[in-house]
Amino acid sequence: MPPVRVLVVDDSVVVRKLLSEALISSTEIQLAGTASSGAIALAKIPQVNPDVITLDIEMPGLNGIQTLAEIRRLYPKLPVIMFSTLTEQGAAITLEALSLGASDYLTKPTNSASLSGAMESVRRELIFKILNLAGRNRPSALPAFRAASARRKPGSQRIEILAIGTSTGGPNALAEVIPRLPGDFPVPTVVVQHMPPLFTRLLAERLASQSQLVVREAEHGQLLEPGSVWIAPGDYHMTVVRRGLAARLELNQEPPENSCRPAVDVLFRSVARSYGPNVLAVVMTGMGSDGARGAAHVREAGGEIVVQDEATSVVWGMPSAVIQSAGADKICPLPEISEEILRRIKSSRTAAVATVASHT
């Protein structure tokens, strides 16, 4: 299989050099070329025919957002990884880039660290993202569907909480799902989206501006309420703890799981423990396997699982891993997930009422 060809676009000579050296350290990647501006990049794309582009956001002249818009117009399917700074402005621009079709992003090393030393962690993450976006780390063949032994029985329990996990492509997937839920949504919603600090708060604010639901970045000790959505803050695991009828959020900085903090597995284990069979877990687009073990806990407790399909996922890593570990009650294209959520919650309530009535 030929190596993945990558075009590096950054106005900094130092960053171009470091990224180039990082990429050629992998035998699976070939440096197709570099460009110091958006205009040069657009001219080079038809010449070097890259499989993936890394694109700096803050460039003079044609900036990263403008360059991305033109790339999307000319090459709709070409994967683009944005490079941004870990600042509020950088986070806001990155979310804009993702909404315009960027495939993924990385944050640059901070000035306080040794640039060459910090680039080692960037190198590992960048190579992982490139190979996934190029389809080199595809999941093994999966059955079309397999039911788990603890699959929920219709009418057994009503859904009391919605838990969502996602990663690469997640901000756009969440923007497709959350705003379609009505203001009188009858259960609380908890979300893990793999993102660093600042990014998660701005993501919550962006979703809140688009939604009928109240969407906030989670805080320790918050009481869960229907019609509200809480997004785990970057660098913190989020769990749900139930005492009597009240359920609250707890945040911690215990070690990362699946190289992630927040981790979907941590959240899913906690909702399975706190809500038993009354859980609807949804796993959408994302690299890796975070959520697979947690989904198995949800399944063992009798909860329901819905995953996004491969065709509409930016990367079908997390959903496929969940299917392998826990099965799925439904595999949905992204535009149908909100409708499936509403249908399942409504039918669980109707069935539960009917069950109670039949025993009176």
195: which 2 tokens? 């993102």
Q: Which listed residue (103, 104, 194, 348) is catalytic? A: 194
Is residue 68 within 8 Å of 96, Cβ to Cβ? no
**Of the listed 36, 37, 167, 325, which one is catalytic?**
167
State yes or no: is 329 an active-site residue. Answer: no
Task: Decide if 314 contacts 174 (C-beta within 8 A).
Answer: no
359 is catalytic: no
- DSSP assignment string, 157-175: ----EEEEEE-TTHHHHHH
Contact 175, 99 (CB under 8 A): yes
CA distance 206 to 199: 10
Instruction: Compute how many other C-beta atoms are within 10 angstroms of the C-beta atom of residue 43.
Output: 11
- Of the candidates 10, 265, 290, 309, the residue annotated as catalytic is 290
**Coil, strand or helix at 203:** helix
* 231 in Cβ contact with 193 (< 8 Å): yes
Q: Say which amino acid occupies 338.
A: S
Is residue 194 annotated as a catalytic residue, yes or no?
yes
Please state, in angstroms and as integers, the Cα–Cα distance from residue 64 to each residue in 41, 92, 203, 241, following that order.
10, 13, 20, 42
**What are 326's two structure tokens?**
């826990």
Active site residues: 167, 194, 290
